[in-house]
Amino acid sequence: MDSRAHPPVAAALRLCLHALLVGLLALAAVRAVGDGTHAAAVVAVSCLMAAVYAAGALAPAVQPRTRAGALWLAALGAVWLALLVLSPEALWVAFPLYFLQLHLLPTRWALPAVALTAAAAIACFVLHGEPVTPGTFIGPLLGAAVAVATVLGYEALFRESERRRELIEELMSTRAELAAAERTAGTLAERERLAREIHDTLAQGLSSIQLLLRAAERTLPADAPATPHVRRAREAAQDNLAEARRFVRALSPPDLENGSLAAALERLSSRTTGPGLTVQFAVSGTPVELPTPYEVALLRTAQSALANTVRHAGAGRAEITLSFMDTSVSLDVVDDGRGFVPGRGPVVADQDAGGFGLPAMRARARSLGGTLSVESAPGQGTAVALTLPLPIPDGRPGQDAA
């Protein structure tokens, strides 16, 4: 009768309910046969009630709080009233009926049904001319109270158990998601650390060797014995520098693997969603090729700033602008959200974006010789601006040849 996933104890209780009702019907039939009062009619109605009960117990449509369940209870109650008219022993059948009514009907209907059933049992017992004692009234009423307390108490315990089970499942799922996010963040952080190390050490060293060998090659006569060796050494340094650059590109964030920085920022803008939030992206100036650390810093700053906009700003509009100037490149992320007081605002690390909050953004800017500024005020939105100096292409001090 119930499709919900109750624990095994519920199945045992249902079996006990079946046995109780069948046993009480059998008792009424046996007593009627022994007394000789309406024996045939009592046996027939008892069998009819047992058949109606079995049909409902086996019918898949009979479920709690359904029309089929209510109709089945009505049919069962009608047969029971007929039996109650024939035999006062049918009074005891009211006890399993209490449990069925509380189980199948909504509480606002179940309680009145239980009260009417108890009243019908007491009234028919009195009308049969049986001796009236306090137990005549107390028995059905006490049975109704016990049934109400048992069923409602069990349902409350079951709901609490379900809430705890759902909470445990949610906690387990959240823990798994956090573990996966931490692994992903750790992997990305290690990739970027290796990319920076290769860029700042190996690639820069090979670039310097190449420049020195080129200078040495220019100073040597064309027919000098060492010239071919210098040229081969310069070519080997150039090939290894290209290989180092490929390693750096391979270790860059996945968003930068299959396109330019502008394309990655465009994808970021289109997939960033929030309640009523629209994100637009624009490029200003003439795009130039940037070293991988520059692209990583610009992309991560945009990710972190947008994550803070979605989580804390309550903004309706945000704009990302990538600007290429003569000597620098800048990224501006502006929103029209609630704003905050800089230094006390909710610019926090965002794990989903790779763990880059305001301190990490400033550290990235400083490592590349750039600056990061945050302008905001309560009710006036927020503007985050990252400015990086463009690499000097001719090998002078400050060059970022890799």
Listing DSSP states for 319-346 in one string gives EEEEEE-SSEEEEEEEE-S----TTTS-
Question: Which range is least confidently modeled, 107-121, 205-219, 266-280, 310-324?
Answer: 205-219
Q: What is the model's pLDDT at position 47?
A: 92
Residue with the bigger pLDDT between 155 and 356: it is 155
The pLDDT, as a whole number, for residue 75 is: 92
Residue 4 confidence (pLDDT) above 70: no
For residues 54 and 1, give the distance between their C-alpha atoms in angstroms, rounded to a whole number. Answer: 11
Q: Sort strands 371-376 and 382-389 into parallel, antiparallel or unpaired.
A: antiparallel
Higher pLDDT, 126 or 1: 126
Query: 347, 327 in Cβ contact below 8 A?
Result: no
Considering all CA atoms of the chain, what is the largest pairwise distance in Å, rounded to the nearest integer?
A: 137
Q: Indicate if the pLDDT at residue 197 is higher than 80.
A: no
CA distance 87 to 36: 11
pLDDT at 193 over 80: no
Q: Is 285 helix (H, G, I), strand (E, B) or coil?
A: coil
List the chain domain ranges.
8-132, 258-389
- 271 pLDDT band, cuts 50/70/90, is confident
Distance of CA 303 to the CA centre of its chain: 21
Q: Lowest mean pLDDT: which of 25-34, 56-65, 392-401? A: 392-401
This prediction has a pTM of 0.41
Alpha helices in 198-252 (DSSP H): 204-219, 227-250
Of all residues in the chain, the percent with pLDDT exceeding 90 is 4
Residue 279 in this model has a pLDDT that exceeds 80: yes
Of the segments 171-175, 230-234, 244-248, 325-329, which one has the largest average pLDDT value?
325-329
- Show the tokens assigned to 298: 């610009």
More reliable by pLDDT, 39 or 243:
39
pLDDT per position as a tens digit, 140-179: 778 888 888 888 887 788 788 888 888 898 888 878 877 7
Confidence class for position 313, pLDDT limits 50, 70, 90: confident
The residue written with tokens 């965002």 in the block is: 350
Count of all residues that appear for the chain in the document: 402
Q: Which CATH architecture has domain 258-389?
A: 2-Layer Sandwich (3.30)
Side chain identity, residue 53: Y
The Cβ of residue 326 has, within 10 Å, a number of other Cβ atoms equal to: 7
Q: If pLDDT is split at 50, 70 and 90, which confidence band does 29 have? A: confident
Is the pLDDT higher at 112 or at 223? 112
Residue 38 burial (10 A CB sphere; 0-12, 13-18, 19+)? middle
> Which H or E element spans position 169?
helix 134-197
207 to each of 38, 233, 235, how far by Cα in Å? 112, 12, 11
Burial grade of 251 (CB within 10 A; 0-12, 13-18, 19 or more): buried
pLDDT grade for 44, boundaries at 50, 70 and 90: very high
Distance separating alpha carbons of residues 269 and 283, to the nearest angstrom: 13
- Asked if residue 245 has pLDDT above 60, the reply is yes
| Residue 402, CB-side half-sphere exposure with 13 Å CA sphere | 31
| Nearest-angstrom CA–CA distance, 19 and 297 | 74
pLDDT at 132 (0 to 100): 64
Q: Is the dihedral of CA 220, 226, 229, 233 positive or negative?
A: negative
Closest CA to 65 of 99, 102, 13: 102
**φ, ψ for residue 382, nearest 5 deg:** -140, 145
Average pLDDT over residues 50-64: 88
- Between the alpha carbon of residue 367 and those of residues 84, 198, 293, 362, 389, the distances in Å are 91, 15, 10, 9, 11
- The contacts of residue 221 (CB under 8 Å, 6+ apart) are 227
Contact, 199 vs 241, CB < 8 A?
no
The residue-averaged pLDDT of 362-385 equals 85
